[in-house]
Amino acid sequence: MILETRHSIHEILSRQPLFRGLADDELREIANGTREYRAKKNEIIFHSGDTVEGMHVVVMGQVKLSLPSSQGMEKVVHVCGPGNTFGEAVAFLDKPYPVNAQATAESLLLLIPKRVLLDALELSNTLCRKMIASLSVRLHEMISDMETCLLRNSVQRVVCFLVQSAPESGDSFEVSLPASKQTIASQLNLAPETFSRVLGQLSEAGLIQVRGRRIAVLDRQRLIGFSG
């Protein structure tokens, strides 16, 4: 993949959802303090427990946030794609990162240091309100994830995931998995083996067709009905 190199940080920032529509001089202040960096596939960006530098913005590529467990296992909390940010919440508290961050593809990112971010928020009410909106979305997603993981069984979790990934609202559609099956399984709090078995089971029942990372949902309604 050839990564973006031409555009100034200022211009890149202005294209991110969180900063779009900000006054030009506000943005310039932020851009001045922002550092661009790259991460290769599988590169660790930070570990749980590291001290927080600031807010990270995924410009291109993909970053996986995961909770480490005692025996070297990990539970994927979130997968960030282009336009997503991470580390901001913890930048406002005085705590270390609670998760690991690892690139799952070659990625281009921005780092807005804590200090720069706090100063910008002090000056720009617009940015503050965008930040509030962004945090709210994350909180909402988190509730939804807990719902999926904690009060559904394995089949329901997978069905739930497929349905939520539906681009259109048609009765049949195709989902292209946004990450490896292991990663998806971990997000759903399933062993990879179980995830595979459930997909097999749904195929068996003629509800979906699996071809690598592409999954065709043949009948949305019957799929939903299958779990309840």
Partner DNA sequence: GAAACGCCTTGATCCGCATCAATTCCTCGG
Partner DNA sequence: CCGAGGAATTGATGCGGATCAAGGCGTTTC
3 lines the binding site for a second copy (CB under 8 A): no
Quick one: tokens of 19? 């900063």
Nearest to 148 by CA among 186, 179, 202: 186
Question: Across the chain, where does the E strand assignment appear?
Answer: 35-39, 44-46, 54-60, 63-68, 74-80, 85-86, 100-103, 107-113, 173-176, 208-211, 214-217
Residue whose structure tokens are 């720069």: 116
Q: Among 59, 110, 190, 202, which residue sits at the site for DNA (rule: CB under 7 A)? A: 190
98 versus 192: smaller Cβ distance to DNA: 192
Q: How far apart, in whole angstroms, are the C-alpha atoms of residue 188 and residue 150?
A: 9
Show contacts with a second copy in window 174-213 (CB under 8 A).
189
Q: Are 47 and 100 in contact (CB under 8 A)?
A: yes
Binders of a second copy among residues 37 to 96 (CB under 8 A) are: 67, 69-70, 73, 75, 77, 88-90, 92-93, 95
Please state, in angstroms and rounded to a whole number, the distance separating the CA atoms of residues 47 and 97: 7
Contact 87, 97 (CB under 8 A): yes
The item of DNA, a second copy, none sharing an interface with residue 110, based on CB under 5 to 8 Å by kind, is none
Residue 132: name its binding partner from a second copy, DNA, none (Cβ under 5 to 8 Å by kind).
a second copy
- What is the x/- site pattern for DNA, positions 48-77, by CB under 7 A? -------------------------x----
Number of residues that bind a second copy (CB under 8 A): 40
Q: Which residues bind a second copy (CB under 8 A)?
A: 67, 69-70, 73, 75, 77, 88-90, 92-93, 95, 98-99, 121-122, 125, 128-129, 131-133, 135-140, 142-147, 149-152, 189, 228
Q: Which residues bind DNA (CB under 7 A)?
A: 73, 153-155, 180-182, 189-197, 199-200, 210, 212-213
